[in-house]
Amino acid sequence: MSPRAQHAGALVFALSVTMLVMVIGVAGVVSLRAATAQSVRTDDTISATYLARSAAVLGVQLLTEQSAWRSTISNDAWYGLGTVNGAKLYMKAVDDDGDLADDESDSVRIYGRAATRDATRMISALARPETVTGSNVLSNGGFESGTSGWIFANGTPVLDTSAPPEGLQSLCLTDRPALSMAQAVADVSSVVENNTEYELELWVRFASGTGSVDVSFQLAGSSPAWTQYQSIPDVGTTWARYTLTFPSTGSSSFTSAWITIAASSGTADFCLDGIVLREAPTSRLVLAAGSWRREID
């Protein structure tokens, strides 16, 4: 039975022929022109085989770009991808337990189907979820290069080599005014992007007592204005590592971007180390080597 294109929620496969050919690569030029009817059928078979495999690869790419795909498409349902050189391309995702949305760690089998004039082929491969973690975009988050790249307020920055949690030294803000919040500020204008979710990790402690630490991520000059705050309560005298997530920065442009780490009011030295800013981890599907197989249509 011929598959029919399905529609589900926000998942839309609206692709131009140019994009299809770019992703498909050599498969798009497999369609040869032969002199006899037999050779045309042979060429259609070859073309359909390559295109079916390419449809599966393209399906994986499209699902990876749709963060909520497990809840917006149906298990074992065909979706149309478009037409290349007269061949219609389809894909579907199949979870062995019949439910795509019940477990994000489940592997799925991705099917690609191509129907040319005289041939139809279907090929599948197993796709496994993989978490991708972004790289640190702060150039001196561990203060190994001193105070380079940072601006400080309401405290004197002092490098401390006595017991850093990582690397050779940490940084402490000393001589703090009693009623002011000590601040460490980094300009990240050239290393962050809009419409992106970020994650910030840091080591932090106070020299005495306890306090809170507030972290803000601001895009200046954006429209609408965008600032996000995260707070770390009950920070004590022992080094502790925290991970904060800042939701998508939105699609508007901005003129500058800043990360500000501020300690609650008090006079105790405020110490930082190992600050990392990176894109939040994302999940993608990866085709498993050796899992390709020809399917009976």
Segment 220-245, tens digit of pLDDT: 887 777 889 999 999 999 999 999 99
Nearest to 172 by CA among 138, 204, 215, 211: 204
| Least confident among 37-46, 138-147, 167-176 | 37-46
Shared domain for 35 and 47, answered yes or no, is: yes
Question: What is the CATH number for 49?
Answer: 3.30.1300
- Residue 118 in domain: yes
Shared domain for 26 and 121, answered yes or no, is: yes
150/157 Cα distance (integer angstroms): 10
More confident residue, 131 or 27: 131
Query: Given pLDDT bands bounded at 50, 70 and 90, which one contains residue 45?
Result: confident
Shared domain for 288 and 223, answered yes or no, is: no
Shared domain for 234 and 171, answered yes or no, is: yes
- Residue 4 in domain: no
- Residue 137 in domain: no
Shared domain for 106 and 209, answered yes or no, is: no
pLDDT for 92 equals 96
What's the rounded mean pLDDT across residues 19-45? Answer: 48
Residue 48 confidence (pLDDT) above 70 = yes
37/239 Cα distance (integer angstroms): 76
User: Is-above-0.85 flag for pTM?
Assistant: no
Shared domain for 154 and 275, answered yes or no, is: yes
pLDDT for 16 equals 38
Shared domain for 121 and 63, answered yes or no, is: yes
- Residue 12 in domain: no
Total domains in the chain come to: 2
Separation of first and last alpha carbons in the chain = 8
pLDDT for 115 equals 93
The per-residue pLDDT for range 197-228, each reduced to its tens digit, is 999 999 999 999 999 999 999 988 877 778 89
pLDDT for 43 equals 73
Shared domain for 168 and 75, answered yes or no, is: no
Query: Given pLDDT bands bounded at 50, 70 and 90, which one contains residue 172?
Result: very high
The per-residue pLDDT for range 99-154, each reduced to its tens digit, is 999 998 999 999 999 998 889 999 999 999 998 888 999 999 999 999 999 999 99
Please report the beta strands in the chain, taking only residues with DSSP state E, as ranges in sequence order.
79-84, 87-94, 108-115, 120-132, 150-153, 156-160, 170-174, 183-187, 198-206, 211-220, 226-235, 240-246, 256-263, 270-279, 282-287, 293-295
For 24, the domain range is 17-132+283-295
Shared domain for 40 and 114, answered yes or no, is: yes
Query: Given pLDDT bands bounded at 50, 70 and 90, which one contains residue 36?
Result: very low
Average pLDDT, the chain: 85
Shared domain for 156 and 243, answered yes or no, is: yes
Question: What is the CATH number for 181?
Answer: 2.60.120.260
- Residue 194 in domain: yes
- The proportion of the chain whose per-residue pLDDT surpasses 90, expressed as a percent, equals 63
